Amino acid sequence: MSVWLPAAPCTPQDCARHTGAVRAPLPAALRLLAGCGLVLLGVACLPPVRLLGTGPRTRLTQRWARAVVRAFGVRVTVGRHGAAPVAGGELVVANHVSWLDIPLIASVLPGRTVAKSEIRHWPLLGPLAALGGTLFIDRDRLRALPDAVRDIAAALRSGSRVVVFPEGSTWCGRAGGTFRPAVFQAAIDAGATVRPVRIGYRAGPHAPGPAAGAVAFVGADPLAASLWRVVRAAGLTARLDVLPPLPAAGESDRRALARRARSAVLGPGGPAAPVRPPWPARGRTGPPRPSTTEPAAYRRPPAPRGRPPAGTSPTPPYAVPHRPRTAPRGPAPGS
């Protein structure tokens, strides 16, 4: 895997835990069979459905996607916040938590999804995604990115709705990643509209506290393990908020547009991506400068200038509290 790929600090061991009610194995197995059966039904019916007109095809896709999410035992609530329909191409951008995000968005805003090329080889979901017009991206090849941006822009110019998760990786829902600006360049090139969508999961309809960990599909979590964890968790609720559109026409800075979309999805005070440590300056000698994100107690104070006053013993210029060697590593609690 390329070192340039976005990655989240979330892991199945730390983040994908369910603390609510649990279904018995038999009802959970029935849920799993029902969900997989509906996915297979979608694969079988997709060729004739594609022959229908835009209106009937959209309505059938929405009902089928909602049925898939409900079959896996997840209730769905939708909020529309000044989300008036737009004409022409529309780039739907959302935070990414789980494989459930794809049918969840399709139940409200069906469109062509941008996905990594590995999904093409997934059982059940892979063939369905290919037949549904998914735009696959080879994330391991940076040279393939310009072609992917051109393909997305072409789809937007044709009037299609394109769904993308610009974080580039799944997060547990308690933290969020940076929105990558490449797909926003496609919206600018096509003069399309950017539609922010916020996705959240809870262990119950009115459950307080952090996001439901059962749906988090993070790290090296196998798909089969994630499927079983979802159907075993009882009372899961998915919340999808369709937010006001952001026009990309006339915008020249894709990074600014990406920041606006992220602020809309995660909120100004929402979960932030981890701060990248500062890179050491090239050609610099001596000890590196302290990071501004480091606790103040661990920063080196400036060395005193001049000679110490008479009658005092010199103090080492860098006498600071000892940094504990057992500092915890890994993601922060709740990430």
Which H, E and C letters describe the chain, residue by residue? CCCCCCCCCCCHHHHCCCCCCECCHHHHHHHHHHHHHHHHHHHHHHHHHCCCCHHHHHHHHHHHHHHHHHHCCEEEEEEECCCCCCCCCEEEEECCCCCCHHHHHHCCCCCEEEEEHHHHHCCCHHHHHHHCCCEEECCCCHHHHHHHHHHHHHHHHCCCEEEECCCCCCCCCCCCCCCCCHHHHHHHHHCCEEEEEEEEEECCCCCCCCCCHHHCCCCCCCHHHHHHHHHHECCEEEEEEECCCEECCCCCCHHHHHHHHHHHHHCCCCCCCCCCCCCCCCCCCCCCCCCCCCCHHHCCCCCCCCCCCCCCCCCCCCCCCCCCCCCCCCCCCCC
Q: What is the arithmetic mean of pLDDT over 53-69?
A: 91
Does residue 14 have a pLDDT over 90?
A: no
Express each pLDDT in 246-287 by its tens digit: 887 767 789 999 999 999 998 754 444 443 333 333 444 444
pLDDT per residue over 298-321, tens digit each? 344 455 555 555 554 444 443 444
Mean pLDDT of 47-51: 84
pLDDT at 230 over 80: yes
Mean pLDDT to the nearest integer, 35-45: 88
Phi-psi region of 214 (alpha: psi -120 to 50; beta: other; left: phi over 0): alpha
CB 182 within 8 A of CB 150: no
Q: What is the pLDDT of residue 259?
A: 92
Q: What angle do CA 190, 255, 284 make, to 5 degrees?
A: 145
For residue 318, what pLDDT is reported? Answer: 37
Q: What are the structural domain ranges in the chain?
A: 12-266
The whole-chain average pLDDT of the chain stands at 77
CA 93 – CA 90 distance, rounded (Å): 10
Q: Which of 234, 241, 196 is nearest to 212 (CA)?
A: 234
pLDDT value of residue 106:
93
Confidence of residue 52 (pLDDT cuts 50, 70, 90): confident
Structure tokens at 91: 């780039």
Residue type, 240: L
Q: What integer pLDDT is reported at residue 24 of this predicted model?
A: 95
Summarised one tens digit per residue, pLDDT across range 130-144 is 777 788 877 667 677
CATH class of 12-266: alpha beta
Both tokens assigned to 168: 């580039």
Instruction: Kindly report which listed range (71-75, 84-88, 134-138) carries the lowest average pLDDT score.
Output: 84-88
